[in-house]
């Protein structure tokens, strides 16, 4: 079955519409030359491949080389009861599917938010796993399929692995809490819901990262409070960005910094 991939965000589409709705939204961007579509076959012909890299015991990054669209890396999380594939990339090939399946039985594919849908249905079909889409964001699915199921709230998808929705970046924006991660101190797969900054000691909370649209102080406090219910020491973003240690305190400190800036506490520095 043929489908189309937006070259800018790498989200799969059943039809070639005039412009990708995800890219036309104020959180993303359409290239100056206009909408560009590609296909899996074209990406394969131009040298696409999948890399699987260990990030820590029982956690792998799955990424495409060259990067496709936004260029995120999926996180493949393994437990004794199976694996979760989080933030699926916008590319796959048989070698990549085999490499992911070799890690363990994938029981669900989940994107943190619509920018990370990638070719989620294609991954789901290849791995024989359902695709879970946040109920609040389901209107962004551009390739409907019977393997898609909706979810909301908190969902323990595997023992000790909980999907939860702080929202913010999108109404349904989700993170994954993995209690056994970081040698038992806990891990948060935070994607763009809570962005791990390059200084490795702070995070950011934005409606749009490329277009720099901030969230209000009230929403940032809500997002930080939401994840503070969980114990975690390490936080991974959806690229190779990570807060290696002390992440829970860093989320709160960064939230308070954001709130201070948007409230004008630091206007004397401008
Ligand atoms: Zn797009």
Backbone φ and ψ of 123, nearest 5°: -65, -40
Look at residue 243 in the predicted model and tell me its pLDDT: 98
**Of 184 and 68, which is predicted with more confidence?**
184
The predicted pLDDT at position 1 comes to 61
pLDDT tens for 66-81 read 999 998 999 999 999 9
The continuous run of DSSP H or E covering 63 comes out as: strand 59-65
Q: How far is the CA of 89 from the centre of ligand 1 (A)?
A: 13
How confident is the model at residue 171, as a pLDDT?
Answer: 97
Looking only at the bridges linking them, the beta strands covering 131-134 and 148-151 are parallel
Per-residue pLDDT tens over the stretch 96-136: 999 999 999 999 999 999 999 999 999 999 999 999 999 99
Report CA(182)–ligand 1 centroid distance (Å). 34
* Tokens encoding 132: 């879970």
Q: How many angstroms separate the Cα of 107 from the Cα of each of 41, 86, 158, 263?
A: 26, 11, 8, 43
Predicted confidence (pLDDT) per residue in 18-62, tens digit = 999 999 999 999 999 999 999 999 999 999 999 999 999 999 999
**Taking 80 as the threshold, does the pLDDT of residue 188 lie above it?**
yes
Residue 35 CA, ligand 1 centroid: distance in Å: 8
11 Cα: distance to centroid of ligand 1 (angstroms): 6
What's the 68 CA to ligand 1 centre distance in angstroms?
11
Q: What is the assigned CATH class of domain 4-269?
A: alpha beta
Residue 90 CA to ligand 1 center (angstroms) comes to 11
Question: What are the tens digits of pLDDT across the range 207-238?
Answer: 999 999 999 999 999 999 999 999 999 999 99
**If you measure from the C-alpha of residue 268 to the centroid of ligand 1, how many angstroms do you get, rounded to a whole number?**
40
Buried b (16+ CB within 10 A) or exposed e, 144-167: ebebbeebbeebebbeebbbbbbb
């Amino acid at each position: 079955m043929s489908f189309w991939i937006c070259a800018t965000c790498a989200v799969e589409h059943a039809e070639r519409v005039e412009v990708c709705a995800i890219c036309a939204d104020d959180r993303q961007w359409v290239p100056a030359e206009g909408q560009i579509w590609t296909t899996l076959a074209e990406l394969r012909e131009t040298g696409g491949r999948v890399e699987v890299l260990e990030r820590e015991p029982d956690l792998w990054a799955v990424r495409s080389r060259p990067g496709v669209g936004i260029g995120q890396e999926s996180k493949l999380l393994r437990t004794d009861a199976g694996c979760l594939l989080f933030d699926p990339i916008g590319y796959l090939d048989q070698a990549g599917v085999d490499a992911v399946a070799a890690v363990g039985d994938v029981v669900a594919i989940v994107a943190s938010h619509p920018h990370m849908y990638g070719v989620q249905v294609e991954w789901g079909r290849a791995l024989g796993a359902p695709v879970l889409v946040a109920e609040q964001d389901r209107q962004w699915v551009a390739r409907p399929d019977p393997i898609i199921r909706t979810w909301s709230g908190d969902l323990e998808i595997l023992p000790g692995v909980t999907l939860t929705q702080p929202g913010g970046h999108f109404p349904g924006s989700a993170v994954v809490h993995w209690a056994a991660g970081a040698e038992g101190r806990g891990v948060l797969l935070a994607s763009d819901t809570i962005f791990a900054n390059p200084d490795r000691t702070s995070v950011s909370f934005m409606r749009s990262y490329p277009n720099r649209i901030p969230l209000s102080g009230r929403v940032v406090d809500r997002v930080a409070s939401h994840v503070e219910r969980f114990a975690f020491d390490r936080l991974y973003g959806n690229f190779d960005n990570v807060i290696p240690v002390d992440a829970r305190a860093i989320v709160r400190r960064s939230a308070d910094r954001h709130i201070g800036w948007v409230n004008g506490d630091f206007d004397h520095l401008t």
